[in-house]
Amino acid sequence: MAKFSAPEQLNFAKPEDWPDLKQRFSRYRIATKLNKEPADFQVSALIYSMGPEAEQVYNSFVSPNDDEGEEEDFDHVLKLFDAHFVPKRNVIFERARFHSRTQEAGESVEQYIRHLYELAAHCDFHEKEEEIRDRLVIWIKDKDLSLKLQMTSDLTLKKAVDMARHSELVKQQNSEAGASGHVDEVKSKVYKNKWKKTQYEAAGRRKENEKKNFGRCGRKHARNKCPAKDRECNKCHKIGHFANKCKTRMIQDVTEEVDSLFLGSINETMTKNEATVDEVITDTEPPWRTTLVICHTPVSFKIDSGADTTIINEATYSGHLCQAET
C-alpha cells in the first residue's frame, strides 16, 4: 500500500486555515484507512498532526459534565474544533452576500458558478441547487442566454450550467475565428499597400528614365524610343542626340590653311589718274554690283559671285584707300 504523509501543522495564528486542514486530514484518514481504527486512535492522530497547540485547545473542550467517551468520538471532536475556529455565521448576512453576487466583467461562467457554490454553503438553504440556478439565470452577463434559460420550463441547475458553459465556449471560438480573420484582412491590406507602393515606385522609375531620355532630344516619348537615339548631331557630329541638346563646347576661332580660293572676276589694274576710276563712284551701278564705303571712300564691288574671298586691285587700294588712311 502507498504511504501518505500527514497534512502540515495548523498555524493557530490563522484560524481561517482550519477548513482546509480538516478537508486534507479527512482525505488522509480515508487514504491510510485510519477511519478503520478505533475512535480514540483517530482523535490522537488528528491532534498530533495539528501541532503542539492543538493539545491545549483540545483540553479546553473537556469538562466534568461531558459524557464518558464522548470526547473521544472523532466526529464530535471535529465539531468542537469547528466551533472553536469558525465563529457562528450570520445567515442573513451570508444570504445577502449570495443574492448580491453578479457575474463580474472578465469573469468566466465557470468562475461565477464556483463562487455561487461557495457562498451558498453558508446560507442554510433548504433547496440550495434551486437558489444557485435562479441566481445564475438572472445575473449572468449574457442576457440572450439569460432569456433562453428563463424560457426553459424544465430547467435544472445541471442543465443551466451546461448551457452556460456551452454558450461561452461557442462565443470564445467565434471570437478567436474573428480575430484570425481580422489578422488575415490586415495582412491582405498590408500586401495590397505594399504592392501599390511597389507599382508606384516602378512608375516613378519609368518616369525618371523618360526624363533622362528627354535630355537627348528635348521631346516626350516612351522608354527606349528616343528619336535622337541613332541620329547624328549637326553640331558635334556624334550619334545619340540633337544639336539643341548638344553639350559640346563651341569653338570660338578656327584657323585653316587654304590651298586655293575661287574668285568670280578681277578688274584690270588702274592708276589713280585713269578715267575708269570715276566709274567706281558713279551713281548708277551695273547689275549685281554695289558700292561699299571703305575708309570713307566708296568702292564698287561685284556681289553674289559665289567666290570664297573678295579682293580689290592695287591701283584702287593705292589711289584711294591709302590716301584716305593718311
Distance CA(38)–CA(2), nearest Å, equals 21
- Residue 28's contacts (CB-CB under 8 Å, 6 or more residues apart) are 4, 6, 7, 34, 49
Number of neighbouring beta carbons within 10 Å of residue 131: 19
Closest CA to 262 of 311, 307, 313: 307
The pLDDT assigned to 322 comes to 59
Share of the chain above pLDDT 90, in %: 25
Closest CA to 309 of 254, 257, 253, 263: 263
Strand extents, DSSP E, the chain? 289-294, 297-302
Residues of the chain with pLDDT under 70: 1-2, 62-71, 88, 179-188, 190-191, 204-214, 223, 249-287, 304-308, 319-326
Predicted TM-score (pTM) of this structure:
0.38
pLDDT tens for 226-282 read 887 788 888 788 888 877 878 776 655 555 555 566 555 665 544 444 434 444 444
